[in-house]
Amino acid sequence: MSAAAMFAHLLLERLPGRAPARVPEPCAVMADAAQVDAFCAVGGDRGVLAPIYHYHAVQAAASIRPGDRVLDLGCGPGNQLLHLARLHPGARFVGVDASRPMLRRARRTLDSGGAGGVALRRGDLTALRALPDAAFDCVTCTLSLHHLPDLDALHRAAREMSRVLRPGGGVYVADFGRLRRAATQRHFAHQRAAEQGPTFTADYFNSLRAAFSVAELDAALAALGPGVRRHQTALAPFMVVYRRGVHGADDAAALARARAALARLTPSQRRDCRALAAWFAAGGLPTPVSLR
């Protein structure tokens, strides 16, 4: 990865101009075997997405307490959910995804990773009919909202999150923000092409084109109620986080688990994780103690 090239693209994002129109994903539900395989590979323990999953799991800690019932929406093959469950063994997790192949992979991911007690359900983010009102203490959703087809679906998903969440419950929602230049989108999608392969690279580019703008996310996620704060990466909203914490600093045991999880990453993954933390910190989201 060229830090200089990335910085140049981010500076160009600051120039006046209109963002490209949103281009919805070709398939809202990922069911193609090659796509599922590629996504699982980059999200595994040695994949390029592992540092991102670890970062978000650690940042979500302020929103999850021991004993909480946590709903993870758009859980896909379960890689992010596994990171969350490992850091919060005292919480009870339910993962929801619309893709049957993804849920089958998620079951294998969680079982092999030692989180076999996590429940999985097939469901539509915009219509969680099987889930009762105020059933969860925390709702998480990582890099899934951009798969929704349009703004109406985004607003319906946000209202469903609010409905199934207890009043004042924890929130951790992270997604891409819409970048202003197609060239920047291509840069981020292709910068690790040799490591992630052509199938995931194409999907990654589609995801960046399908990202909602920060204003669109703000308008929809206002449904989650007061206390939800938005944070984004500095210079450009490559990634945006909406978080409502429910407690203060992590306890000693949680901090030890987070540090142990960081140590399991490869040296290059640890660098990537800390680089993402620094990028968010420059945008105003403090770096967790365990990543310093």
68, HSE (Cβ side, Cα atoms, 13 Å)? 26
**Is the model more confident about 30 or about 115?**
115
* E strands, the chain, in order: 69-73, 92-97, 119-122, 136-142, 165-176, 229-232, 239-244
Q: Is 127 helix (H, G, I), strand (E, B) or coil?
A: strand
172 forms beta bridges with: 140, 243
Look up residue 19 and give its amino acid. A
Could you give the CA distance from residue 104 to residue 81 in angstroms, rounded to a whole number?
A: 14
Percentage of the residues of the chain whose pLDDT score is greater than 90: 80
Q: What are the tens digits of pLDDT across the range 118-158?
A: 999 999 999 999 999 999 999 999 999 999 999 999 999 99
Look up residue 78 and give its amino acid. G
Is the predicted pLDDT of residue 17 greater than 80, yes or no?
A: no
Residue 4: its pLDDT value, please?
A: 85
174 forms beta bridges with: 142, 241
For residue 266, the tally of other CB atoms under 10 A from its CB is: 12
User: What homologous superfamily is domain 24-287 in, according to CATH?
Assistant: Vaccinia Virus protein VP39 (3.40.50.150)
Q: What are the tens digits of pLDDT across the range 262-281?
A: 999 999 999 999 999 999 99
The pair of three-digit structure tokens given for residue 154, joined into one six-digit string: 């985004």
Could you give the CA distance from residue 104 to residue 106 in angstroms, rounded to a whole number?
A: 5
Which residue has tokens 């997405």?
A: 49
Is the predicted pLDDT of residue 28 greater than 70, yes or no?
A: no
Could you give the CA distance from residue 108 to residue 12 in angstroms, rounded to a whole number?
A: 42
Q: Is 47 helix (H, G, I), strand (E, B) or coil?
A: coil
| pLDDT-derived band at 161, boundaries 50, 70, 90 | very high
Sheet holding 136-142: strands in order across? 119-122, 92-97, 69-73, 136-142, 165-176, 239-244, 229-232
Smallest CA-to-CA distance from 55 within 15, 84, 33, 25 is with 84
